[in-house]
Amino acid sequence: MVAISRVKESVRTPAEKAPEPNLGSEVIPKQRYTSTDFMNLEWERMWTKVWLVGCREDEIPEPGDNATTEIGTESLLIVRGEDGRARTFYNVCNHRGNQVKFDQCGNSRTLQCAYHFWEYDLTGKLINVPDEEDFAQGCPRDKLSLKQVETDSWGGWVWFNLNPDAEPLRDFLGMIPQHLDPYHFADMALTMNVTVESDCNWKTSVDAFNEVYHVQCIHPELSYTIDDVDVQIDLYDRHNRYLVPYHTYSPRLGEEPYEVPEILANALQAVGMNPDQYTGRVTEIRRALQVYKRESQQKRGVDYSELNDDQLTDNYHYFIFPNLTLNTFSDRMMLFRQRPHASDPNKMYYDVTVHVRVPKGQKRPPMPDHEHVAFGQRSLGLVLDQDAVNLPHVQKGMNSSAFEGLWISSQERRIRHMHKTLMDYIDGEGAGRV
Ligand code: FES
Ligand SMILES: [Fe+2]
């Protein structure tokens, strides 16, 4: 049996419980979810001050590759330059305001606006204006080139920040790279990329993934694969996590299932174990999986040397403020991203992406198309569909005059922590944040 001590100490994800901050027990005002005024405050003081994921690095691998991303009222254009650097620009032509690119992604040697053919190079510099002599005021390049925003990368994503005085990305991320670099997200391949327009505030959706209190109610099937009770919650400076034991059963069931539940049998099969030959108890499946995965890693072409045993079965579930939820497993990671609507606090865009570890010797899967769908148009799988169906009703309920705010339990305290960070931005507290 390979022990946890074999994990490289220098790069391991800390599993220790973080000290608990005192976040109080106040009601969280519902206006933060429903009010246009609060939405505008969020835009001015938070969304335009934080680092946000723009796209995957491998969506724009070559010079001239470009991608667009929308956040609130803005569209951003991310471009790979001849020097290999990714740069992010406001996606707006400084002639009459047309968007420089309409498509989700593309490749071009220059960035030419389709309206009157003003042309910018890959560094955003205005390089050609048809009939330039016709502009009596001239066309000064320093004023009319594309407006660039702060750009950096981590985890295989291009990040941008609309604040010209932004703190460095690494400072914003804090403990995140130390915790998550052992998973090597940058080497993972994107296999699913779907955006759903949803009828709820962006936080209504974020909250649904920051607590397991609802699992017993909305996702009864998960009781046969998740321990939703023994969940370690860690609240850090801005970001937080919980560690959810997977490939086991919920203590809420009362007693250990006698037969291996189908969902766990499938998990055994997925790594090459034969569930029909498994003779142990259901409660021992999680450990058996850990041992098997550790021992078979070479045969399976994967390297778990930077992950501890629990990471081979469990969901190390991280929330990177304000809008990234990472369901992190040893072989795959599912990322949720919520983006605010431009004008309606009761709407948002919900991005679901799946990233997989590619075993050595196996071909990297092709980049999937980015699907944009209306709510309910496409299934995201049973569990995410169960969450999605519920959320517009939560949003509608929060708009009722009878509802005051969120009455939060201890097991839901990641929600309270997210609000603490949010209000630090809104109130202007916290050095380097606003
Ligand atoms: S608006 Fe872009 S060239 Fe006129
Ligand atoms: Fe859920």
**Domains parsed from the chain with CATH numbers:** 4-37+187-427 (3.90.380.10), 51-161 (2.102.10.10)
Ramachandran class of 247: left when φ > 0, alpha when ψ lies in -120 to 50, beta otherwise = left
Rounded to 10 degrees, the C-alpha dihedral 115/120/123/125 comes to -120
| 95 CB near ligand 1 (under 6 Å) | yes
- Ligand 1 atom at shortest distance from the alpha carbon of 117: 3
Residue 287, C-beta contacts closer than 8 angstroms, at least 6 positions apart: 309
Q: What is the pLDDT along the chain (434 residues), one digit of tens a residue?
A: 344 445 555 679 999 999 999 999 999 999 999 999 999 999 999 999 999 999 999 999 999 999 999 999 999 999 999 999 999 999 999 999 999 999 888 999 999 999 999 999 999 999 999 999 999 999 999 999 999 999 999 999 999 999 999 999 999 999 999 999 999 999 999 999 999 999 999 999 999 999 999 999 999 999 999 999 999 999 999 999 999 999 999 999 999 988 899 999 999 999 999 999 999 999 999 999 999 999 999 999 999 999 999 999 999 999 999 999 999 999 999 999 999 999 999 999 999 999 999 999 999 999 999 999 998 899 999 999 999 999 999 999 999 999 999 999 999 999 999 999 999 999 986 444 43
* Nearest C-alpha neighbor of 20 from the set 328, 171, 240, 203: 240
* Rounded Cα–Cα distance for residues 414 and 408 (Å): 10
* Rounded Cα–Cα distance for residues 397 and 160 (Å): 34
| 118 CB near ligand 1 (under 6 Å) | yes
- Which residue among 90, 110, 112, 118 is best mutated to probe the pocket of ligand 1, counting the most ligand atoms within 8 A of its Cβ? 118
Question: How many other β-carbons are positioned within 10 Å of the β-carbon of residue 367?
Answer: 15
Ligand 2 center to 188 CA (angstroms): 25
| 216 CB near ligand 1 (under 6 Å) | no
Residue nearest to atom 1 of ligand 1 (CA): 96
| 33 CB near ligand 1 (under 6 Å) | no
Ligand 1 center to 87 CA (angstroms): 21
| 169 CB near ligand 1 (under 6 Å) | no
What is the pTM assigned to this prediction? 0.95
